[in-house]
Chain A
Amino acid sequence: MSAIEPTQAAPADQDALAWEYAPAPESRDIVTIAPQYGLFIDGEFRPAAEGATFATLNPASEEKLAEVAKAGPADVDAAVTAARHAYDRVWGPMPGAERAKYLYRIARVLQERAREFAVLESLDNGKPIRETRDVDIPLAAAHFFYYAGWADKLEYAGFGLDPRPLGVAGQVIPWNFPLLMAAWKLAPALAAGNTCVLKPAETTPLTALLLAEVCQQVGLPPGVVNVLTGAGETGAAVVTHPDIDKIAFTGSTEVGKQIAAAAAGTSKKVTLELGGKAANVVFDDAPVEQAVEGIVNGIFFNQGHVCCAGSRLLVQESVADIVVERLQRRLTTLRLGDPLDKNTDIGAINSREQLDKITELSAAGDAEGARRWSPPCPLPGRGYWFPPTVFTGVSQSHRIAREEIFGPVLSVLTFRTPEEAVAKANNTPYGLSAGIWTDKGSRILWMAQRLRAGVVWANTYNRFDPASPFGGYQESGYGREGGRHGLAAYLDA
């Protein structure tokens, strides 16, 4: 059996020098960023009533991108009033078929201006252009396309013969997928006949404002979509405004609970899409190579700034060493750096605040005795950066196994039996998503039935589609976004 014995060590090879891909930056010239941005109220951009502004930064360089209006209570009132007026006079009475055509128009313009949106999103958010170009922007357009088709078919959606919109929706979205989250909120709301007051995240306002410009360009009637930039107080003012009929929030569980409490005793309908601490469960018969890809995609996609991130790797103990070894080898191929470089896999952390949180929780991992590993990975000198990080030797009781880190940090735990995998996976107050990797079909279905999570990815991870409902169990929130179920959040159903 000489063939499988080691032959003489392969001679050192001159060719086998690392082949570095030269920098391939996407041109930022495609976008024009104004020095100042106003609020989008009643179809027009205007400064905040009190004149307050804040800066939005490029997290990859800490360079200031623009000064953005900070909406106060008077602005919120003006936006809600405009939305109410548009609801009563224009959008509510409009035939669904006409509403549909506005949404189709928005979808088309998003496609036509896709590269511009992608570059702007990467600049403001710090995520790689590869992701904004291939995921965020196409999916945002797809959401408008999908829900456009519902606008004139609501009576066939299974919510009764005459489903009614709720009225004015106050929508507060996060910074991790700024345009995509705006699309997830606006498209079903508008299709169902509601009007919207959208509050983008403080650190990522620019693509929502560009989307507001798109609303103007497609001739959307004034007041149907209003965009209020600002921070937490602005969002609080939106959701507590008495003339808001519907609240849709994506963000932290902590704020979600505050919103649920604030809406208590009112007739406001609430849907919440909150945090997670998903288990990605890898069995000994998994397709290992694809499982490793799924682990990488699960936790390092978008720097781990993903509520459904597979932040807990639960790997069967019998293959734990092999999986971790392969994972580590794979992670050495990740490219961290300039988000606009087309070859960048890992971009910048969105904000100093988030970087501090990731740093603090990772330090807790060290302190609790987990073993930290990162690939050799020089970090740029300016901007907010955190290397892809894997903690092994993690137990359920460690903070890094329980708290949402919302960063590129993976906690590796082991299990022995399927029952133990389920018990550990479900041992969290969250319940947004989970992953299963095994070649055994019956085990997939057995696991999928028992995992208490709103989205279960089997032999894949982090897939999204406008036709696919998304949302959590337990403290990951309630209500669904996407698909027919997502429509229910905006109908009196």
Chain B
Amino acid sequence: MGIESLDRLAPGRAEFDVAEVATSDAGLRQVLHGLPGVDQVGVQERVAGLATRSVKKDSKLRALDLAIRMVDLTTLEGADTPGKVTAMCAKARHPDLADPPAPPVAAVCVYPDLVPVARAGVAGSDVAVASVATAFPSGRASLAVKLADVRDAVSAGADEVDMVIDRGAFLAGRYGQVYAEIRAVREACGPAHLKVILETGELATLDNVSRASWLAMMAGADFIKTSTGKVTPAATPAVALVMLAAVRDFELTAGRRVGVKVAGGIRTAKDAIRYLVLVNETAGPAWLTPRLFRIGASTLLNDLLMQRTKQRTGRYSGPDYFTVD
């Protein structure tokens, strides 16, 4: 029933005014609570089943390079400095100078005030600059402050903006407010791509993850993202599975492909490849591109590089052979 009611949102098949639905809490509630339920145990079992996929040899090498190209290399610390960001940008452009060299990562992800530094650091490369904004990570600020935060980041050269939703408003059922904020941020982004962080660790249930995913997509997100990385649990395979199913179904309904970013706690190549398996078998191979799937991480990159070296040389490598930037 849920999917059917959403089908009505599809262009050309609208049976009621979408704008009207989207601006009222009640209308959004009707849509979001009409989504099919998500059975947590069933999701866990599916995830456990997919975790047994064995990725070896050529398919592993391809997965490792793909995963590197999907990384949003991230530093989001109070102690971040221009030096730290500049070094990270160098690593993002040339993660490993082995033969053949590892591909660059998708983007660097920093706080808004460090966007100019990052912009300079990646100049001349395809590496994008992503900035968190909207009073990251808590999002506890007025809309005006959040929008100023976004405009700062974009005017400083951010290609991508990672915003946080107001989880308090979402949990209180003020879906209209969450929707309106995302719309406003979307507009403030201008040409920049918008990633909407759901902070799934605070949403608690997979039903909420599904609803928040749809809410963000309806409001115009280019990506939906699991976590800030500041809350535990951050990304989990179960949450990713639900979000990947949501973007798949959203495309069928609305005709628009939304990306997924998992962030927080993904540290090993094995974890990354498991996420790629989830993408491949849930959203489908069309999502196996940095344009539609990202992994927010910092330490993950070196493990990907180390495994890549192992696959190419047949020898196990060690951390001394990879840069710490």
A266 within 8 A of B: no
When chains A and B are docked, how far (Å) is the Cα of A260 from the Cα of B99?
72
Docked-complex contact B53 and A21, CB < 8 angstroms: yes
> Of the candidates A15, A16, A290, A322, which one forms a contact with B42 in the assembled complex, judged by CB atoms under 8 Å apart?
A290
- CB pair A20–B36 under 8 Å, yes or no, is no
Q: Which residue of A lies closest to B276 (CB)?
A: A19
Interface residues of A in 1-26 (CB under 8 A from B): 1-7, 10, 13, 15-24
Do residues B285 and A3 form an inter-chain contact, with CB atoms below 8 A? no
Q: Cβ of B288: which chain A residues have Cβ within 8 Å of it?
A: 15-16, 19
Q: Is the CB of A24 within 8 A of B56?
A: yes
A285 within 8 A of B: yes
Residue from the list A5, A24, A288, A294 in contact with B254, Cβ < 8 A? A5
Q: Which residues of B contact A2 (CB under 8 A)?
A: 220
Interface bin, chain A: 35 or more
A3 touches which one: B46, B63, B220 (CB < 8 A)? B220
1/0 per residue, CB under 8 A from A, across B41-69: the answer is 11101100000111111111011001000
A17 adjacent to B285 (CB under 8 Å): yes
Per the bound structure, the CA–CA distance linking A24 and B53 in Å amounts to 9
Q: Which residue of chain B has its CB nearest to the CB of A285?
A: B1
A-B contact pairs, 30 of them (CB 8 A): A2-B220, A3-B183, A3-B186, A3-B221, A3-B256, A4-B11, A4-B254, A5-B254, A6-B256, A7-B256, A13-B286, A15-B289, A15-B290, A16-B288, A22-B60, A285-B1, A285-B2, A285-B36, A285-B37, A286-B36, A287-B38, A287-B42, A288-B2, A289-B36, A289-B43, A294-B42, A319-B1, A343-B54, A439-B36, A459-B41
- The A293-309 residues at the B interface (CB cut-off 8 A) are 293-294
The answer to whether the Cβ of A152 comes within 8 Å of any Cβ in the partner chain is: no
Closest Cβ of chain B to A493, distance in Å, is: 34
B193 in the interface (beta carbon within 8 A): no
Residue from A16, A23, A287 having most chain B Cβ neighbours under 10 A: A287
Tell yes or no: B324 within 8 A of A by CB: no
B4 touches A318 (CB 8 A): yes
Q: In the complex, which residues of chain B have a beta carbon less than 8 angstroms from the beta carbon of A333?
A: 281
* Cα–Cα, bound, A191→B156 (Å): 75
- Distance (Å) between the CB of A326 and the closest chain B CB? 9
B285 touches A319 (CB 8 A): no
Residues of B within 8 A of A130 (CB): 52
Which B169-203 residues have a C-beta within 8 angstroms of A?
Answer: 183, 186
Residue of A nearest to B183 (CB): A3
Is B318 in contact with chain A by the CB < 8 A criterion? no
Nearest B residue to A461 via CB reads B42
Complex Cα gap A3–B290 (Å): 21
- A-side contacts of B52, CB under 8 Å: 130, 134, 342
A-B contact count (CB 8 A): 123
Q: B76 in the interface, Cβ–Cβ < 8 Å?
A: no
Question: Chain A's nearest CB lies how many Å from the CB of B230?
Answer: 27
Residue of B nearest to A437 (CB): B39
Please give me the 4 A-B residue pairs with the lowest Cβ-Cβ distance, nearest first.
A290-B42, A6-B255, A3-B220, A24-B54
Which residue of B9, B53, B256, B288 has the most chain A CB atoms within 10 A of its CB atom? B256
Residues of B within 8 A of A10 (CB): 257, 286, 291
Interface assignment of B148: CB less than 8 Å from any CB of chain A: no
Q: Would A5 and B255 be within 8 Å (CB), given that A288-B36, A289-B245 are in contact?
A: yes
Residue numbers in A under 8 Å from B219 (CB-CB): 3
Residues in A lying within 8 Å of B, measured CB to CB: 1-7, 10, 13, 15-24, 130, 134, 284-290, 293-294, 318-319, 322, 333, 342-343, 439, 459-460
Q: Would you call A459 and B257 a contact (CB within 8 A)? A: no
A15 touches B66 (CB 8 A): yes
User: Which residue of chain B has its CB nearest to the CB of A334?
Assistant: B281
Q: What size tier do the contact residues of chain B reach?
A: 35 or more
Bound-complex Cα distance A460 to B289 (A): 33
Question: Are A293 and B56 also in contact (CB < 8 A) when A6-B11, A322-B4 are?
Answer: no
Name the B residues within 8 Å of A285 (CB-CB).
1-2, 36-37
Closest Cβ of chain A to B172, distance in Å, is 23
Contact A4 B9 (CB under 8 A): yes
- With both beta carbons as reference points, the residue of chain A lying nearest to B7 in the complex is identified as A322
Let me know if B22 is at the binding interface, CB within 8 A. yes
Is the beta-carbon distance between B255 and A459 smaller than 8 angstroms? no
Question: Is the pair B36, A5 in contact by a Cβ cutoff of 8 Å?
Answer: no
- B45 to chain A: closest residue by CB: A293
User: Shortest beta-carbon distance, A137 to chain B, in Å?
Assistant: 14
- Verify A4–B4 contact, CB threshold 8 A: no
Output the nearest chain A residue to B34 by Cβ-Cβ distance: A285
**Complex CA distance for A397 and B241, rounded to whole angstroms:** 39
Cross-chain contact A5 with B39 (CB below 8 angstroms): no
Given A4-B218, A18-B285: A287 touches B37 (CB 8 Å cut-off): yes
Given A2-B220, A4-B218, A4-B254, the answer on whether A21 and B59 have CB atoms closer than 8 Å is yes
Q: Is B18 an interface residue (CB 8 A)?
A: yes
Q: Which residue of B lies closest to A15 (CB)?
A: B289
Please indicate the chain A residues that have their CB under 8 angstroms from the CB of B242 in the complex. 289
A19–B36 CB distance below 8 A: no
* A19–B63 CA distance with the chains assembled, in angstroms: 8
B3 at interface by CB-CB < 8 Å: yes
Report the minimal beta-carbon distance from B211 to chain A, rounded to whole angstroms.
13
